[in-house]
Amino acid sequence: MAVSKDVVDQIESLREQIRHHNYLYHVLDAPEIPDIEYDRLVRNLQALEEDHPDLVTPDSPTQRVGATPIEAFGTVEHRLPMLSLDNAFSADEVRDFHRRVVGRLELADEGKKLAYAAEPKLDGAAVSLLYVNGTLQQGATRGDGRRGEDITHNVRTIDAIPLKLIGDDYPETLEVRGEIFMPKAGFEAYNKRARETGEKTFVNPRNAAAGSLRQLDPKLTAERPLDIYVYSVGIVEGREMPDSHNDVLDQLQAWGLKTCPERRVVRGIDGCLAYYEELGARRELLSYEIDGVVYKVNSRAEQRELGFVSRAPRWALAHKFPAQEEMTVLKGVEFQVGRTGALTPVARLEPVFVGGVTVSNATLHNMDEVHRKDVRIGDTVIVRRAGDVIPEVVSVIESRRPKGARRVKLPARCPVCDSAVVREEGEAVARCTGGLFCSAQRVEALKHFVSRRAMDIDGLGAKLIEQLVNIGRIKTPAGLYYLTKDELTSLERMGEKSAQNLIDAIEHSKETTLARFLYSLGIREVGEATAASVAEHFGGLDGIIAATEEELEMVPDVGPVVAARIRAFFDEEHNREVIARLRKAGVHWKETEPRASPKDGPLAGKVIVLTGTLESMTRDEAKDRIQALGGKVTGSVSKKTDFVIYGEKAGSKLKKAQDLEVETLDEEQFYALLSGI
């Protein structure tokens, strides 16, 4: 019967897509689609070719295991092909595999006692290592399963791969197969350095491992934090190997080769599925990425009896976890507002099942990330969700970008309260200026205000705060101190006893410290330590409210940025009104005498810069001496600088001072200045 042109075209289209993505992944180290989408393409092609076997051609991707090696590396012929594994994506598919194994081996009792060697399916790069008389002679990639790339020089740089086996009972020729991977911590550290230096980052640890192995300069590979677990043998000459797969791995480990500590022998289908569930529950705790588990019939004699199909063994199966990465369409971008007014762009997605849940929203972090990834509305994007981590948009598939895809724009006004949105120079985050007037900030600000290290109001949890804000009862922290018992008992799930306890806790919180009160206000950059320093320096709140930025900078550890934040907070009339209402409600603290004011000191009004190393005191000690005498220490030299104090190894600041004809003092002259005062 003639095959329709649509089927022929569909098969050829799938082959072209798979070849394209093989090239991106294996040759360019730049995968464009997640693994799950690639698997779908392959499975669709397999299904069509099974229905139409006469259309199968030798060059179809289904007849290959991997990609053709590139010419930059030498070629290695695998004497024993490095085959791929068939994949299962459901428990039913695993049961079907087990039934086939049981049937071929003609086992009784549904194979309940059949032993499987189970181990994690590592997400890295498959390699072959050849040892001759115990010495590493060759390393090769899987390639297309029959020919791989010679990466000997690169694998020699990996500390986890022994150059010489332990003992003297190893075979004359031993080929081992394993997975080279980049641990999670190493991957994050590498990408962090790459971002800091403006270099290309890796999309995921698997891509990082593959790309590292295919460096033409072994020194670059040596710099990458790579590891390996071996999982099987290939050619073995000169020695018999143990009868079971697990015992083979034990033997390899005895010779100094690393095997996965999570491997285990399980019994029957129930043992396989229980292992899958148990390992899946611990997946995020592992130090390396896995994307499933592998089951292998443990008996090597039974493996030989089961044999192979063209591209995979009949005695092994890869059981994949739900995909952590998926493709979907970005329908729009909205902006969420946090406690400090930070605007976070959130992608609204065509719902997609990823990481075990349906995802319709994903974070874009900030506008710098939006621009770096060139995310546009209408794009097809890759979304990642690992464990309980908030889903994020990882990258854009530019080849699928539709005409009319729109760039994401930062809103000029807050989407919640319509206040102005500002983005300060040098900051990745844009912020709403609405403060406590912004309802989005209000909830978070109140949560912070009542927290244990702030005003410590026990019993006032997040849900209750949200309820009070949503009904319009609380608009500022001051409103908490005007709540009544009757109002509280009218709320959902609030009994008389709970209401009274909360009223008592609010009343108790009125007696606090100035440091706690300052911290509770949620001023940007003002943490507990800074709040304590400011409180100790000024002694009372009125002095802080009236202080200039220059006076605030006299506080130890308060620099220009923090001083500006504090000053801006108290410059807002509505913030001062809230504080006045809090004090009227009875919130109080013991005020102390301020430190001796330096504003009338002998160095009052002088702008001073410190540079180089002082022998007799630290830079911090020198700063304290200057500030105690009324001087202001800044970090940069300008025409407004009165003089520069320099020590050993003074750098560009001293030269700039000389260029601007700013007075300079060495350490001896600095001491003379202090002595003269």
Question: Which amino acids are annotated catalytic?
Answer: 121
Number of other CB atoms surrounding residue 32 within 10 Å: 21
- The residue length of the chain stands at 677
Q: Among 154, 166, 253, 255, which Cα is nearest to 212's?
A: 154
Is residue 329 within 8 Å of residue 379, measured between CB atoms? yes
The burial class, CB within 10 Å (0-12 / 13-18 / 19+), for 659 is exposed
Is residue 362 within 8 Å of residue 453, measured between CB atoms? no
Is residue 570 within 8 Å of residue 576, measured between CB atoms? yes
Is residue 347 within 8 Å of residue 335, measured between CB atoms? no
In angstroms, what CA-CA distances link 421 with 375, 412, 417? 21, 5, 10
* Measured distance CA(656)–CA(638) in Å, rounded: 8
Distance in Å from the first CA to the final CA of the chain: 107
Residue 289 half-sphere exposure, CB side, CA atoms within 13 Å? Answer: 25
Q: Is 534 left (phi over 0), alpha (psi -120 to 50) or beta?
A: alpha
* Measured distance CA(487)–CA(473) in Å, rounded: 9
Locate the DSSP E strands across 548-630: 588-589, 607-611
* Measured distance CA(469)–CA(444) in Å, rounded: 11
Element of type H or E holding 671: helix 667-676
Is residue 448 within 8 Å of residue 341, measured between CB atoms? no
Which tokens sit at 570? 């108290």
Locate the DSSP E strands across 449-516: 511-512
Q: Among 31, 39, 360, 65, which Cα is nearest to 206's?
A: 31
